[in-house]
């Protein structure tokens, strides 16, 4: 007669109201009531094999679409296993909502079975977190969680729900409004500042756009393109911003930073105006901060006021959403164009010529060899098959840097990687989330032999759902990035970086019921990749690459970004 | 240097943990912290003194403002504000100096809140520097124990409290933004 529902059912109704179509999770003791309610709920639940991967998969889903990804775990170990994925989402500003079960409110604080202080543990791992002990609070909290995760600077939000809140019964009234009086989102940008920024842009002789993950998060690629074209300015996209401007766009330079290109870093170091859009001046981009972009004035547009002036003082700060600010900037530029556009024509032309020269002097081209598979060669082949259109989910390490350097992304939300936290084991589960979100897309999971072994259990998830993910293991038998640093900075004392006993992937894939293959011949590598892509289902391709190849260019830690090491030290003749 | 931060915080579980956690996470060293309900029982006022470089003072306020339970964060170091602290001093001294101690207490405007044959318990309020002096003077008379409350501050500025209005659930992001920015 009435709409008396369990807390679990109310929660699922709230998820439906948020248009959640997919949850990545793992059940347990205190979430039993929730999973019981899920039994006859239309929402799709994807059973992962480890909670950390539920958080990574939810991120893959969110990164591929911009929608809020959802993951779910039980109390205690389930919740603690989520933590890496939450911090990862926090660092990269990815909107996910994590639902965790908590022991009954009456048992809380008694060291009950599978009790952990999830609320306390995840305080710094989330943008905000909630503990729900009372069923009456549940609907409001769930909707607030989604709103906080997706709005402003996106991020992870965790909702910890006690078992008695799941089990209790209450009348469900859909939530009409969200009231978070202390939560402010600054989106519009200050009109006067925008006008001054436009003026600075026309006045600059060597302007340079430094675009980051904020462009992707705000779905502001079109707006970035319009600005780049209105000003005809070179654009670099950070590791988090790749695809923000299409790689094929004539204004795109490449990625800056520790493993950025020569041209991108030289451009940063010589620009007289840095137009920083949705970036946070991360140490992997700036190198030694005091030597970063020493000649440049900085216009910094960011939605998070705390990022503006955090690492580098902005000469002109604009707090706002790039999606809203950039069109206004373009309008101001156009209004000023008749009087100002022609001002620095010669200097601008010289600047462009300089950028092109740098690009030609040290291009990012993939090395190949006739006798072994260079990892760069592998990335170039993946790039050829992708044509700038495939989703590439990467793990963390050398392969990640080569992929970022050499695979083109002509759309946003194709490049999915753990940028800020650098979590190994991210690539494969993120690919799962991305493939669920974008069944129409070709999805590569590019992983190293280290990270792959952290995510092997998820092969079962892939097979369960017949996800046609192309897993490419760039196998050099080492934890390559750590080894690279040991070679360069620790006298080549290779300590605990050799990964022997890698499984036979053909057998491994067969054990899970799909196809796999190892390729170590450079002649066969391209066709092996093609076969993997042509396979209708999942495919595990283990590519044995040259073991001692290192990533260049490289800015040594603490170096200025124009002090790049461009190639490995060469043997000296004696 | 010392920065005094005044926070208006929603009285919700975990709010104090969020504030103190963020301070330690960002490496800001808390020197004192007071917290109590305001006239509106759903809100708390926190006064926090923190030891930070001059250059990160702005960052401290911005980070506090990012907390969803923080309604307002203000830097009241350079006023206009009144900053006060309370100290309770237990002093044990010999009988001969009792009168002298009471005289000194009077100079500092301190009250006797407990008196025994062994000594007094004195209560003084004032700005922190004055209390430093009070403690120093008392120490010269005997063995003391002091408990300080930490600074409480009230801003003399008429800063308007800007709060976000309610937003219809499921509003398109654009719509929500417009509502937020209306005013």
Q: Calculate ∠ Cα A202-A297-B56, nearest 5°.
A: 140
- Say yes or no for a CB contact (<8 Å) between B67 and A182: yes
User: Is B135 found in the same domain as B109?
Assistant: yes
B62, B68, B170: residue with CB nearest A182: B68
User: Is B103 found in the same domain as B48?
Assistant: no
pLDDT digit string, tens, across residues B133-143? 999 999 999 99
- Could you state, in chain order, the average pLDDT of each consecutive group of 10 residues for chain A (574 residues)? 86 97 97 97 97 98 98 98 98 98 97 97 98 97 97 97 97 93 93 97 97 98 98 98 98 97 97 98 95 97 96 96 97 96 94 97 93 98 97 98 98 98 98 98 98 98 98 98 96 96 97 98 98 97 97 93 88 72
Q: Indicate which CATH number applies to the domain containing B136.
A: 3.30.70.1150
* A470 Cα to chain B: minimum distance (Å): 35
B17 CB neighbours in chain A (<8 A) are: 120, 123
Rg (CA), chain B: 21
* A131 Cα to chain B: minimum distance (Å): 9
User: Is B148 found in the same domain as B86?
Assistant: yes
Give the pLDDT of residue B176.
Answer: 59
Substitution target from B177, B179, B182, B183 for chain A, most A beta carbons within 10 A = B177
Give the pLDDT of residue A324.
Answer: 96
Band of pLDDT at residue B175, cut at 50, 70 and 90: low
User: Is B11 found in the same domain as B61?
Assistant: yes
Domain membership of residue B121 (yes or no) is yes
What range does the domain containing B96 cover?
A: 82-152
Which helix or strand (DSSP H or E) is residue A264 part of?
A: helix A262-270
pLDDT above 80 for B67: yes
User: Is B105 found in the same domain as B40?
Assistant: no
- What CATH number has the domain spanning A191-361? 3.40.50.1220
Q: How far apart are the first and last CA of chain A?
A: 93
Q: DSSP readout, A370-389?
A: SSS--HHHHHHHHHHHHTT-
Task: Give me the total of CB pairs closer than 8 Å, taking one residue from chain A and one from chain B.
Answer: 85
| Number of separate domains in chain B | 2
- What CATH number has the domain spanning A4-171? 3.40.50.970
Domain membership of residue B110 (yes or no) is yes
Q: Calculate ∠ Cα A106-A112-A113, nearest 5°.
A: 130
Band of pLDDT at residue B183, cut at 50, 70 and 90: very low
- Say yes or no for a CB contact (<8 Å) between B163 and A185: no
Identified catalytic residue from A44, A106, A113, A334: A113
Q: In b/e form, how buried is each residue of A212-228, taking b as 16+ CB within 10 angstroms? A: bbbbbbbebbebbbbbb
B169, B177, B180: residue with CB nearest A177: B169
User: Is B44 found in the same domain as B28?
Assistant: yes
Q: Which residues contact A490 (CB under 8 A, 6 or more apart)?
A: none
Of A237, A195, A186, nearest in space to A215 by CA:
A237
Q: Give the domain-ending residue among B78, B113, B134.
A: B78
C-alpha–C-alpha distance, residues A541 and A524, integer Å: 12
Q: Is residue B146 a contact partner of residue B88, using CB atoms and an 8 Å limit?
A: yes
* A497 Cα to chain B: minimum distance (Å): 31
Q: Indicate which CATH number applies to the domain containing B14.
A: 3.30.70.260
Phi/psi at B86 (nearest 5 deg)?
-120, 145
- List helix spans (H) across A99-235: 118-121, 138-150, 163-167, 191-203, 213-217, 221-231
Q: Give the domain-ending residue among B78, B108, B135.
A: B78
Domain membership of residue B143 (yes or no) is yes
Identify the closest residue of chain B to A308 by CA–CA distance. B59
Domain membership of residue B112 (yes or no) is yes
- Say yes or no for a CB contact (<8 Å) between A305 and B62: yes
B18 CB neighbours in chain A (<8 A) are: 123
Q: How far is CA B37 from the centre of its chain?
A: 13
- Say yes or no for a CB contact (<8 Å) between B14 and A17: no
Domain membership of residue B126 (yes or no) is yes
The answer, yes or no, to whether the previous bond of A61 is cis (omega within 30 of 0) is no
pLDDT digit string, tens, across residues A267-322? 999 999 999 999 999 999 999 999 999 999 999 999 999 999 999 999 999 999 99
Q: DSSP readout, B47-112?
A: EEEEE--GGGHHHHHHHHHHSTTEEEEEE-TTSSEEEEEEEEEEEE--GGGHHHHHHHHHHTT-EE
Domain membership of residue B31 (yes or no) is yes
Band of pLDDT at residue B173, cut at 50, 70 and 90: low
Q: In b/e form, how buried is each residue of B115-139, taking b as 16+ CB within 10 angstroms? A: eeeebbebbbbbebebbeebbebbe
- Say yes or no for a CB contact (<8 Å) between B10 and A182: yes
Write the ipTM: 0.90
Give the pLDDT of residue A3.
Answer: 78
Q: Higher-confidence residue: A3 or B49?
A: B49
What is the pLDDT averaged over residues B149-153?
A: 95
For tokens 């992983």, the residue is A447
Q: DSSP readout, A461-478?
A: HHHHTT---EEEEEE-SB
- Say yes or no for a CB contact (<8 Å) between B167 and A147: yes
User: Is B74 found in the same domain as B7?
Assistant: yes
pLDDT above 80 for B179: no
pLDDT digit string, tens, across residues A101-124? 999 999 999 999 999 999 999 999
Give the pLDDT of residue B35.
Answer: 96
C-alpha–C-alpha distance, residues A241 and A270, integer Å: 21
* B6 Cα to chain A: minimum distance (Å): 15
User: Is B72 found in the same domain as B6?
Assistant: yes
* B12 Cα to chain A: minimum distance (Å): 10
User: Is B66 found in the same domain as B40?
Assistant: yes
- Say yes or no for a CB contact (<8 Å) between A176 and B168: yes
User: Is B71 found in the same domain as B93?
Assistant: no
| Residue A52 among the catalytic residues | no
User: Is B32 found in the same domain as B73?
Assistant: yes
Residue extents of the structural domains in chain A: 4-171, 191-361, 375-544
Q: In this structure, what token pair is assigned to residue A401?
A: 């840097």
For tokens 């709010």, the residue is B15
- Say yes or no for a CB contact (<8 Å) between B14 and A306: no
Domain membership of residue B123 (yes or no) is yes
Q: Give the domain-ending residue among B43, B61, B78.
A: B78
In CATH, A375-544 is 3.30.450.20: no
Of B33, B42, B47, nearest in space to B11 by CA:
B42
User: Is B73 found in the same domain as B6?
Assistant: yes
Q: pTM score, two decimals?
A: 0.95
Name the DSSP letter for residue A359.
H
């Amino acid at each position: 007669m009435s709409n008396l529902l369990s807390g679990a059912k109310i929660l699922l109704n709230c998820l439906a109201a948020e248009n959640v179509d997919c949850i990545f999770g793992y059940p347990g003791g205190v979430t039993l009531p929730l999973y019981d309610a899920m039994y006859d709920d239309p929402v799709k639940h994807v059973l992962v094999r480890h909670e950390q991967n539920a958080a990574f998969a939810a991120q893959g889903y969110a990164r591929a679409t911009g929608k809020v990804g959802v993951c779910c775990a039980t109390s205690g170990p389930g919740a603690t296993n989520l933590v890496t994925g939450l911090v990862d989402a926090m660092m990269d500003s990815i909107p996910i909502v994590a639902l965790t079960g908590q022991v009954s409110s009456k048992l809380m604080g008694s060291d009950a079975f599978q009790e952990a202080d999830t609320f306390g543990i995840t305080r710094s791992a989330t943008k905000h977190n909630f503990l729900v002990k009372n069923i009456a609070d549940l609907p409001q909290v769930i909707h607030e969680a989604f709103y906080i995760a997706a709005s402003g600077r996106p991020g992870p939000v965790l909702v910890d729900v006690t078992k008695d809140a799941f089990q209790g019964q209450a009348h469900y009234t859909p939530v009409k409004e969200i009231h978070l009086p202390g939560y402010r989102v600054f989106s519009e940008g200050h009109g006067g500042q925008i006008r001054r920024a436009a003026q600075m842009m026309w006045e600059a002789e060597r302007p340079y756009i430094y675009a980051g993950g904020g462009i992707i998060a705000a779905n502001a690629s079109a707006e970035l393109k319009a600005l780049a074209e209105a000003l005809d300015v070179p654009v670099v996209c950070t590791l988090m911003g790749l695809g923000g401007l299409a790689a094929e766009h004539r204004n795109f330079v490449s990625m800056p930073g520790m493993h950025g290109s020569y041209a991108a870093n030289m451009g940063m170091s010589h620009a007289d105006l840095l137009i920083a859009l949705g970036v946070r001046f991360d140490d992997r981009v700036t190198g030694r901060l005091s030597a970063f972009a020493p000649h440049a004035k900085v216009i910094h547009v960011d939605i998070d006021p705390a990022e503006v002036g955090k690492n580098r003082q902005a000469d002109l700060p604009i707090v706002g959403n790039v999606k809203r600010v950039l069109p206004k900037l373009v309008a101001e530029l156009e209004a000023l164009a008749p009087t100002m556009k022609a001002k620095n024509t010669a200097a601008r032309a010289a600047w462009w010529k300089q950028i092109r020269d740098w690009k030609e002097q040290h291009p990012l081209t993939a090395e190949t060899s006739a006798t072994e598979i260079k990892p760069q060669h592998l990335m170039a082949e993946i790039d050829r098959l992708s044509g700038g259109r495939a989703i590439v989910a990467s793990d963390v390490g050398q392969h990640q840097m080569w992929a970022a350097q050499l695979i083109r992304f002509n759309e946003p939300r194709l490049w999915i990687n753990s940028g800020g936290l650098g979590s190994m084991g991210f690539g494969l589960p993120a690919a799962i989330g991305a493939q669920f979100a974008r069944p129409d897309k070709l999805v590569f999971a590019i992983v190293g032999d280290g990270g792959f072994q952290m995510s092997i259990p998820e092969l079962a998830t892939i097979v369960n759902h017949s996800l046609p993910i192309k897993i490419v293991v760039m196998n050099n038998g080492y934890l390559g990035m750590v080894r690279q640093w040991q070679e360069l900075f620790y006298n080549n004392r290779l300590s605990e970086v050799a990964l022997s006993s890698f499984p036979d992937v053909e057998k491994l894939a067969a054990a899970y019921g799909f196809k796999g293959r190892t390729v170590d011949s450079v002649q066969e590598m391209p066709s092996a990749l093609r076969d993997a892509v042509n396979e209708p289902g999942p495919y595990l391709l283990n590519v044995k690459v040259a073991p001692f190849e290192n990533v260049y260019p490289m800015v040594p830690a603490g170096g200025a970004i124009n002090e790049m090491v461009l190639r490995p030290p060469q043997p000296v003749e004696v | 240097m010392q920065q005094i931060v005044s926070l208006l915080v929603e009285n919700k579980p975990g709010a104090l943990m969020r504030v103190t956690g963020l301070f330690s996470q960002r490496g800001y060293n808390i020197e004192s912290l007071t917290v109590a309900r305001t006239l509106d029982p759903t809100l708390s006022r926190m006064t926090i003194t923190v030891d930070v470089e001059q250059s990160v003072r702005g960052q401290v306020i911005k980070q506090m403002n990012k907390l969803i339970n923080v309604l307002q964060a203000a830097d009241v170091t350079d006023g206009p504000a009144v900053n006060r602290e309370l100290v309770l001093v237990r002093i044990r001294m010999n009988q001969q100096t009792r009168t002298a101690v009471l005289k000194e207490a009077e100079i500092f405007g301190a009250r006797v809140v407990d008196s025994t044959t062994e000594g007094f318990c004195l209560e003084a309020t004032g700005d922190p520097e004055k209390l430093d002096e009070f403690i120093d003077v008392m120490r010269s008379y005997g063995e003391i124990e002091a408990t300080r409350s930490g600074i409480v501050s009230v801003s003399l500025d008429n800063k308007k409290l800007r709060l976000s209005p309610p937003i219809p659930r499921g509003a398109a992001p654009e719509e929500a933004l417009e509502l937020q920015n209306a005013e």
